[in-house]
Structure 1
Amino acid sequence: MVCVKDGRILPNVREKQIELEKLLKIHVLTADSNGSAARECEGLPVELHVIGQDDQREEKRSFVRKIAPGVAVMGNGVNDELMFRQADLSIAVIGKEGCATATLMASKIVVTDVIDGLDLLFMHHRLIPTLRK
């Protein structure tokens, strides 16, 4: 989960998710490496989906394919690459955990802070100059 560091939700992310839920349905799709996803998502307006340990890349892509079109995704792990290629909007976050190069190259937008990425979903006018062809 790109909204976490060391298994803990980053500051201000909870508030942003609560605001964002008024506009979008939020799915948290994670391998739950730290085993803390359920606890961290408790009380948030999100649907938590913990993926298996086998073929995580394909499992994430498959999940996005099922709920497409109109899917925006955020991530930083190598297991996010195929999901990024499947989604309509993919935002790579280069934070304290870094970002896998394959996922970075598959992204449409890159940010250095998850709050900036979430704000793009609120203030979609910011996407226009970034994605202009």
Structure 2
Amino acid sequence: MISIDIPGFGDLHIKHIVLDYNGTLALDGKLLPGVRKQIVELAEDMEIHVVTADTLGQCEEELANLPVNIHTLETRPEDEAKLRYIKKLGEKNCACIGNGRNDRLMLRDAALGIIVSGPECASMEAARLADMAAADINHALGLFTHPVRLLATLRD
């Protein structure tokens, strides 16, 4: 778990990182460079979850042998299914990272919502509901290996 008190934002106690797959961790179904290493490092302190519709059908293969819980969505609308998933975990203990419109509700309700703008870009609707934005997934994941970066960005 990562705990940090951010003046003006509040206390964060992150036990779970919930990640979208396509567009966030992967491009065209393939895991982006650097992500594998970061997931392994973060899994030492937190549970890592990947919540996906797995549009391209490559999520399980790409994440094989990584310490992640994969949840493939079977119901629509996807934004509501992702929100239900984090509520089961306890949304106040979740940091969520995504890029798409179907990530907007989990980004809004999580203790910390991070929008990433990678090669597939980012939904502006989701961006308006997130707490912060990252240039790419590696920068977003790096916030949890160097949590003082959260303080620098979110404090009053």
User: Aligned-pair distance for 1:12?
Assistant: 1.0
> Cα deviations across residues 17-46 of structure 1 (Å, max 9, x unaligned)?
001100110000011111101101110000
Instruction: Please point out which of 134, 144, 154 is paired with 1:121.
Output: 144
Q: Which runs of 5+ in 1 are unaligned?
A: none
Give 1:1-133 correspondences, 5 Å limit.
Answer: 1=21, 2-68=24-90, 69-133=92-156
Which structure has more relative contact order (CA 8 Å, sep 6+)? It is 2
TM-score norm. by structure 2 comes to 0.83
Structure 1 segments of 4 or more deviating over 3 A?
none
TM-score norm. by structure 1 comes to 0.97
In structure 2, C-alpha distance between the alignment counterparts of 1:94 and 1:26, rounded to whole Å? 20
Q: Which runs of 5+ in 2 are unaligned?
A: 1-20
In structure 2, C-alpha distance between the alignment counterparts of 1:41 and 1:50, rounded to whole Å? 13
User: Aligned-pair distance for 1:122?
Assistant: 1.0
Q: How many residues align?
A: 133
What secondary structure is seen at the aligned counterpart in 1 of 2:93?
coil
AA partner of residue 46 (structure 1): V
In structure 1, C-alpha distance between the alignment counterparts of 2:51 and 2:145, rounded to whole Å? 20
> Cα deviations across residues 57-81 of structure 1 (Å, max 9, x unaligned)?
1000111111112100100011000
What secondary structure is seen at the aligned counterpart in 2 of 1:61?
helix
In structure 2, C-alpha distance between the alignment counterparts of 1:130 and 1:15, rounded to whole Å? 24
User: Aligned-pair distance for 1:53?
Assistant: 4.9
What secondary structure is seen at the aligned counterpart in 2 of 1:92?
strand
In structure 1, C-alpha distance between the alignment counterparts of 2:55 and 2:73, rounded to whole Å? 10
Q: CA RMSD in A?
A: 0.9
> Cα deviations across residues 74-110 of structure 1 (Å, max 9, x unaligned)?
0001100011111000110001100011111111110
